[in-house]
Amino acid sequence: MKDIRWGIIGLGWFGEVHAEVLASLPGVELAALCTRRPQRLAEVADRFQVARRTTDYRDLLADPDVDVVGITTHIHDHRDIAIDALRSGKHVFLEKPMAPTPEDCDRILAAADSAAGSFMVGHICRFDPRVALAKQAIDEGQIGKIVSMHARRNLSVKIGRMVLDSISALMGDGIHDGDLMLWFSQARPVSVYAQEIHPGDNKYPDGGWAMVRLDSGAIMVIESIWHLPESTPYQIDARMEVIGTEGALYINCGEAGLEIHDRAGNRRPDTLYWPNVFGQRFGILRAELRYFADCVAAGRRPERITPRESRDAVALLAAAEQSSRTGQVVLF
Amino acid sequence: MKDIRWGIIGLGWFGEVHAEVLASLPGVELAALCTRRPQRLAEVADRFQVARRTTDYRDLLADPDVDVVGITTHIHDHRDIAIDALRSGKHVFLEKPMAPTPEDCDRILAAADSAAGSFMVGHICRFDPRVALAKQAIDEGQIGKIVSMHARRNLSVKIGRMVLDSISALMGDGIHDGDLMLWFSQARPVSVYAQEIHPGDNKYPDGGWAMVRLDSGAIMVIESIWHLPESTPYQIDARMEVIGTEGALYINCGEAGLEIHDRAGNRRPDTLYWPNVFGQRFGILRAELRYFADCVAAGRRPERITPRESRDAVALLAAAEQSSRTGQVVLF
Amino acid sequence: MKDIRWGIIGLGWFGEVHAEVLASLPGVELAALCTRRPQRLAEVADRFQVARRTTDYRDLLADPDVDVVGITTHIHDHRDIAIDALRSGKHVFLEKPMAPTPEDCDRILAAADSAAGSFMVGHICRFDPRVALAKQAIDEGQIGKIVSMHARRNLSVKIGRMVLDSISALMGDGIHDGDLMLWFSQARPVSVYAQEIHPGDNKYPDGGWAMVRLDSGAIMVIESIWHLPESTPYQIDARMEVIGTEGALYINCGEAGLEIHDRAGNRRPDTLYWPNVFGQRFGILRAELRYFADCVAAGRRPERITPRESRDAVALLAAAEQSSRTGQVVLF
Amino acid sequence: MKDIRWGIIGLGWFGEVHAEVLASLPGVELAALCTRRPQRLAEVADRFQVARRTTDYRDLLADPDVDVVGITTHIHDHRDIAIDALRSGKHVFLEKPMAPTPEDCDRILAAADSAAGSFMVGHICRFDPRVALAKQAIDEGQIGKIVSMHARRNLSVKIGRMVLDSISALMGDGIHDGDLMLWFSQARPVSVYAQEIHPGDNKYPDGGWAMVRLDSGAIMVIESIWHLPESTPYQIDARMEVIGTEGALYINCGEAGLEIHDRAGNRRPDTLYWPNVFGQRFGILRAELRYFADCVAAGRRPERITPRESRDAVALLAAAEQSSRTGQVVLF
């Protein structure tokens, strides 16, 4: 079978991690790169020896030798680029969150409905074996009916500072857990209440808490604080508690099986999401991109997460941000 | 020095644990026992060979050979008994929560203000070395200014069923963490929002979440779910996260250093609160009762926690219960 | 590129897991199956719709439409089948341990030296991101010079019973850690001393401990007990401690990020090695087989582990078994 | 009852910790202090306002106003001082290890047999609730017959450097676990084999491993490494695994419920052994000294650990040191 030709729009640090994965993925060719910044474009394209390079994403969308477009830009560019990409007929892999508002998401959904290509938003955690096994246990009824959920996804202030001018912590990481909890419970939000903190100097709040009532009667609580101290050993302190009427389960992605104490202090390197193992990126991101590539190759519609679900997660977190701004409970 | 003569009013399971501690505490005499149930009274008094026994707590309060009164009744009897005990001139140790409402607490406070004896509400966690060392680290500025706190204190449904006709999970265990967080932050609540779940058949909700905004700008979140499955290995799943501008600290009293896997399953016995070590009760409860006895012996006013602080914790959790009932944010 | 056609010899439970992985691996065709047991052969071959099936492994080796041979038989059949497979010109993937004795291994090594195909022994842990990141940290000097190592790899008695007629716990799982520690330290054993326990009814000892002195001066200690209680929450309790002159690191594969408490008790499912995620096998085994397939496809010699290293791990554990039998320290 | 008057011989850092506990223990008077170093004597005696102070321990033994003698000197002084103290008729509390050799211990035992006072060696871990609850579970048969045990008790190189001129890590901390394992199993050693490492510049080896065969058939393994990096978050990394035919149990005193991440790095302060809680020492050391004081006050012989058991632990670790020196298995 012919290799799938993948182009990337957006070459921040995460776009480059995408490139690293794709460059070593059998059956995939890293075919084209795009960023508005010429110097960065040259740097990354040279590194991966990619000939097709452009500072205008429309060039990439018009290129007949590109099959898949991965969008890893800032969230504020998602809507327009995703819609153009869908209209171009390419297969589109869009990083999460889908877009800043549910209205933006709805416009992307409309474009996706009439698009020829496959479309998926990169909710990486759905590809985490821990999460998937938890979902399977829940669906098999092992913990009964869910009554309470809590998710924490906290980061060092060092990482926070790099992204808090683009997105709030609550939207940026809460989007993961908002989605997972709706998926686990198969319920819909009735109300949401949130509070945020803003100790840093960036544009968006450094942390937030959201409490959601679901129509199933369950409570879900999201914690996302990008203000852990520089000395935190956590690459990411990500964990989840799901309590049901018959059982409970606990996911811990913060203590991911390796702890190093050396002259520089203590750390728990990323072993799960995109660990660099002898020069290649492994882990959940690789599984996720592999999944989308396999869907494209087989002509299958991605089913692990639907665009509608991605939109619903945005709607939930956007409502949380609104609650935080107004101090009021937001009803759905 | 003469032994301090301690009488107990209320002989549920926890009153009996008090008796076990006091019966083995040097310098203390377990002098008198009281419960309304004659059969239970005989059972416990015989066990500890206590001669002074009564079903009317006024008898105990009138007894000149009793120095200290410990009150371990249901919360709904706290107010009247505590006020009578304070007026009797005895030293009074009252179990937490102080009373069901801040108004009840205020009446107890008024009685305490004009009382001859010492008075303390049994906020056991203030005597936990983990908590105390955390408080010291916070006061020394090691984590900077607190921005976010979370506390979980979850119990098996087996334990929940035994107490949920007297008190909600949110008030019953949230009282601990509400107090600790106010103590840690030295801030006052501005608003509280809460949600509760009620999957069981008891009178009060089995679990709840409260989110509090403090006047320092920090967020505090309390989780108290008495609905863990019967198979839970946790005696109590109690942990706390405190994030500051310069550091973070984590308390874990749920995995207290011993895990047993046997034919009956998995469990993590209580090694902290009132472990039974070769027939004697040790741990934090013992340290707490020792502290109060030492205060009485030395004629010192207890300072580890003040009645005012105990009252403020009740006010916070009562407001959370109100928010849960009304669905509204409660402002202070 | 043409798919790599992979045949499997040996269809116990782990041979079937291999089949599950290979059947879903892009670029690989599960092409042929072999076991001596006709009924089992039909069962597995039907499940994966594999037409080429045989009870005589020589048929499979003679089949020109098979490129790679995976050997997942009992360890006592490894030597003869591996030598025949190597002589047949196929690429050979042999499960660990390479063979029961270093002499057997030497004969396989000799066959491999003159073989046309690639050859690798399946030391899965070398493909574990936790392990690989630890190796990288060690090689970068982050923990200085290693002085002490301990590895535990303990299993439930339920699993032990299934395999202890073929292999001892010390050889069966110690082979992993023996290899990893030699790899980490790049040192050679000077002496080994071991003790084993044999509480069960199977042929081989249920557990063992080995203490090794390395020529670098470091001590390495291996613990392998296949006698955890049936109620153990561990799928496998696998962890490693590596202490150096400048740092220390800790690997924990026993608490792999998911814990489930339900009516059946407590468990920590496999999320690392070959987790079944929505019907497909993911994890480290998949990464390992992918690696070998990619080496074959690219005509590269596998370098992540050499046959010589696999042989040295067998020599170490065989010496430990000898020490356990004789009660004497074995010198190298 | 009259206060028990306690004198301390040996005022290193741990002698001072003893003084801190005793100075705040109801029913006990810190009555006399002794060290050979006049300046240190003045410093500690002034701090606790102790009038009876001497640089000659014989003065303290001759003082009729001292009831109990606590010996916290270097191990090499234990034998002579303990024998003199026992002959003086005082009650004697001797820190562990009892003495460097079993022969020394036997001479102390002989003196204790004909002594008027009570005698106990300070095996603090026997007073740890975690350990005591484990012992109770074992004695109740909950894990069946013990087949394998492992104990780790590792310390930072910072602490190691302070004590390694007096004692080896294997004897210094292995004495705890050697004793506990013999106590748990109620078995006797048949053979011991050990290896030590000596990366530091101090007189004694920085770390060691011992493997013991018991007459019950069980294996016990002791790990004691005083060479963790300066950045280690562990105050002490102390944990134990006990596997039986019917169950298993795990003690963890290394992660004792509090973790602090601040500008100085990460640490897990001592919350168990002698935590300083608002100016007073609490924890297991306090429980141990309380126990001995209560025995003295009540005229009871201490039973939690016998001098014979303390001697047997020394014999075991001394044999391990001999094995390490000779490279041979030592038989009992």
Q: Are B174 and B153 in contact (CB under 8 A)?
A: yes
Determine contact, residues C24/A294, Cβ cutoff 8 Å: no
Please report residues of B whose CB lies closer than 8 A to that of A229: 143, 244, 246-248
| Helix (H), strand (E) at residue A209 | strand A207-214
Is ipTM beyond 0.90?
yes
Q: Mean pLDDT over residues B198-219, rounded?
A: 98
A225, A266, A267, A268: best to mutate for the D interface, most D CBs within 10 A = A266
Nearest CA in chain D to C144: D229
Interface test with chain C among B266, B267, B268, by most C beta carbons within 10 Å:
B266
CB contact under 8 A, A249 and C255: no
- For residue C148, give the nearest of D207, D246, D248 by CB distance: D207
CB distance C197–D219 less than 8 Å? yes
Contact predicate D235/D164, CB 8 Å: no
Closest CB to B266: pick one of C231, C262, C263.
C231
| Distance, CA of B269 to CA of B261 (rounded, Å) | 11
Q: What are the residues of chain A with a beta carbon less than 8 Å away from any beta carbon of chain B? A: 143, 145, 147-148, 150, 152, 154, 191, 193, 195-197, 199, 206-207, 209, 211, 213, 217-219, 221, 223, 225, 227-229, 231-232, 241, 243-248, 327-329
- For residue B331, the cross-strand partners are B191
Beta strands C280-281; C146-154: pairing state: unpaired
CB A285 within 8 A of CB A21: yes
CA neighbor of C106 nearest in space, from C280, C307, C287, C251: C307
Nearest CB neighbour to A195, from listed B143, B213, B232 = B213
Neighbours of chain A (3+ CB pairs under 8 A): B, C, D
Give the C-side interface with D, CB within 8 Å: 143, 145, 147-148, 150, 152, 154, 191, 193, 195-197, 199, 206-207, 209, 211, 213, 217-219, 221, 223, 225, 227-229, 231-232, 241, 243-248, 327-329
Q: Dig out the tokens for A52 from the structure.
A: 């097709």
What's the token pair of residue D276? 């300083």
pLDDT of residue B1: 59
- Categorise residue D120: left if φ over 0, alpha if ψ from -120 to 50, beta otherwise: beta
Alpha-carbon gap: B149 to the closest alpha carbon of chain A (Å):
10
User: Which helix (H) or strand (E) covers residue D253, if one does?
Assistant: none
Q: Quote the pLDDT of residue D209.
A: 98
- Are A70 and A7 contacting, i.e. CB atoms less than 8 angstroms apart? yes
Give Cα separations from C144 to A262, C184, C249 (angstroms).
9, 12, 11
Say if residues D178 and D102 touch (Cβ distance below 8 Å). no
Compare all CA atoms of chain D with the CA of C194 and give the residue at the minimum distance.
D211
**With 0-12 CB in 10 A as exposed, 13-18 as middle and 19+ as buried, what is B280?**
middle
Q: The tokens 């090689």 sit on which residue?
A: C139
Asked if A133 and A100 touch (Cβ cutoff 8 Å), the reply is no
Calculate how close chain B gets to D102, using CA atoms only, in Å.
29
**For residues C311, C313, C316 and C318, what is the CA-based torsion angle, rounded to 10 degrees?**
-70
DSSP C76: G
D200 to chain A, closest Cα gap in Å? 17
Chain A with chain C: Cβ pairs closer than 8 A: 128
With a CB cutoff of 8 Å and minimum separation 6, the contacts of D13 are D162
Give the model's confidence band at C2: pLDDT under 50 very low, under 70 low, under 90 confident, else very high: confident
Which residues neighbour D261 within 8 Å (Cβ) at sequence distance 6 or greater?
Answer: A228, A229, A231, A232, A233, B247, B248, B249
**What whole-number distance in Å separates Cα of residue C165 and Cα of residue C205?**
9
Q: D233 and A261 in contact by Cβ < 8 A?
A: yes
- Nearest chain D residue to B260 by CA distance is D249
pLDDT band at D170 (very low <50, low <70, confident <90, very high): very high
Q: For chain B, list residues whose CB is within 8 angstroms of any CB belonging to chain C.
A: 228-233, 261-266
Q: What is the predicted pLDDT for the residue at A26?
A: 86
Res C26 pLDDT > 90: no
Residue whose tokens read 């608003």: B191
Cβ separation C262–A253 shorter than 8 A: no
Is the CB of A262 less than 8 angstroms away from the CB of D233?
A: no
CB distance D7 to D69 below 8 Å: yes
Question: If DSSP states are collapsed to H, E and C, what string results for A66-94?
Answer: CCEEEECCCHHHHHHHHHHHHHCCCEEEE
Instruction: Tell me the average pLDDT across B262-289.
Output: 95
Percent of chain A with pLDDT over 70: 100
**Do D102 and D330 touch, CB atoms closer than 8 A?**
no
Preceding peptide of B100 cis, ω within 30°: no
Chain C adjacent subunits, 3+ CB pairs under 8 A: A, B, D
Spatial contact of A315 and A105, defined as CB atoms under 8 Å apart: yes
Q: Chain B: residue nearest C230 by CA?
A: B263
Chain C interface with A: residues with Cβ < 8 Å:
26-27, 127, 129-130, 132-134, 136-137, 142-143, 246-253, 255-264, 269, 271-272, 275, 277-278, 282-283, 287, 294, 297, 304
C213 Cβ contact list (under 8 Å, min separation 6):
C189, C190, C191, C192, C219, D195
Closest residue of C to B230, CA-based? C263
> For D11-28, how does the pLDDT look when each residue is reduced to its tens digit (9 = 90+)?
999 999 999 999 999 889
Nearest to C232 among D207, D223, D248 (CB): D248
Of A229, A230, A262, the CB nearest to D231: A262
**DSSP labels, D123-181:** -GGGG-HHHHHHHHHHHTTTT-SEEEEEEEEE-BHHHHHHHTTTS-HHHHHHHHHHHHH
Nearest Cα to Cα of residue B33 among B13, B17, B55: B55
Task: Tell me how close the Cα of D238 comes to any Cα of chain B, in angstroms.
Answer: 10
DSSP string, A281-322: E-SHHHHHHHHHHHHHHHTPPP-SS-HHHHHHHHHHHHHHHH
Residues of B in contact with D255 (CB under 8 A): 252, 255, 257
Mean pLDDT of chain D: 97
Average pLDDT over residues A70-81: 97
What average pLDDT does the segment C172-179 reach? 98
Per-residue pLDDT of B294-321, as tens digits, reads 999 999 999 999 999 999 999 999 999 9
For C329, the closest of D199, D209, D329 (CB atoms) is: D329
Residue C1: pLDDT over 80: no
Between chains, do C211 and D209 touch, taking CB under 8 Å as contact?
A: yes
User: What is the C-alpha separation between C206 and C246, in angstroms, rounded?
Assistant: 36
d(CA C4, CA C299): 12
The pLDDT of residue A1 is above 80? no
Q: Which amino acid is at A217?
A: G
pLDDT band for C96, please (50, 70, 90 cuts): very high
Task: Give the list of residues 6+ apart from residue D58 with CB closer than 8 angstroms, or none.
Answer: D84
CA distance C91 to C289: 13
Q: Looking at chain A, which residue has its C-alpha nearest residue C144? A: A262
Q: List, as one string, the DSSP characters of D166-235.
A: TS-HHHHHHHHHHHHHHHHHT--EEEEEEEEE--SSSSS-SEEEEEEEETTS-EEEEEEE--B-TT--BS
Pairwise CA distance, residues C318 & C65, whole Å? 37
Residues 6 or more apart in contact with residue A13 via CB below 8 angstroms: A162
Smallest Cα distance from C168 to chain A, Å: 27
| Torsions phi, psi for C246 (to 5 deg) | -120, -5
Residue A239 bridge partners (DSSP): A152, A252
In angstroms, the CA C67 to CA C5 distance is: 5
> And the tokens for B69?
């009164």
Say if the Cβ atoms of C199 and D245 lie within 8 Å.
yes
User: What mean pLDDT comes out for the span C289-313?
Assistant: 96
Q: What is the pLDDT of residue D1?
A: 59
D271: Cα within 13 Å, side-chain hemisphere: 33
Q: How far apart are CA A22 and CA A8, in angstroms?
A: 10
pLDDT at D2: 83
CB atoms within 10 A of CB C332: 14
Percent of chain B exceeding pLDDT 70 equals 100
List all chains that touch chain B, counting a touch as 3 or more CB pairs closer than 8 Å.
Answer: A, C, D
- Map B173-233 to HEC letters: HHHHHHHHHHHHHCCCEEEEEEEEECCCCCCCCCEEEEEEEECCCCEEEEEEECCECCCCC
R_g over Cα of chain C? 20
Do residues D95 and D122 make contact, with C-beta atoms less than 8 angstroms apart?
Answer: yes
Q: Tell how far CA C286 is from the center of its chain.
A: 13
Residues 6+ apart with CB under 8 A from D91: D67, D68, D69, D117, D118, D119, D292, D296
User: What pTM does this model have?
Assistant: 0.97
Nearest one of D157, D136, D127, D161 to D289, comparing CA atoms = D127
**Mean per-residue pLDDT for C1-17?**
94
Q: pLDDT digit string (tens) for D184-205?
A: 999 999 999 999 999 999 999 9
Question: In terms of Cα–Cα distance, which of A224, C254, A210, A154 is closest to D248?
Answer: C254
Mean pLDDT for D83-101 is 98
Nearest-by-CA chain B residue for D272: B129
Chain D nearest-CA distance from A267, in A, is 10
**Residue of A251, A259, A260 with shortest CB distance to C258:** A251
Q: Which chains touch D (3 or more CB pairs under 8 A)?
A: A, B, C
Determine the pLDDT at residue A153: 98
Chain B residues in contact with C228 (beta carbon < 8 A): 261
Residues with Cβ within 8 Å of residue A48, at least 6 apart in sequence: A19, A23, A30, A33
Task: Measure in Å the smallest separation between the Cα of A262 and chain B Cα atoms.
Answer: 20
Residues in chain B within 8 Å Cβ distance of C229 = 261-263
The conformation of residue D2, written as its DSSP 8-state character, comes to: P
User: How many angstroms away from the CA of A66 is the closest CA of chain C?
Assistant: 20
B223 forms beta bridges with B152, B209
Residues in chain A with CB shorter than 8 Å from the CB of C265 are: none
The answer to whether residue B2 scores a pLDDT higher than 90 is no
Chain segment A140-174, per-residue pLDDT in tens = 999 999 999 999 999 999 999 999 999 999 999 99
* Chain D partners within 8 Å of B126 (Cβ): none
Structure-derived torsion over alpha carbons of residues D309, D310, D314, D320, reported in degrees to the nearest 10: 50
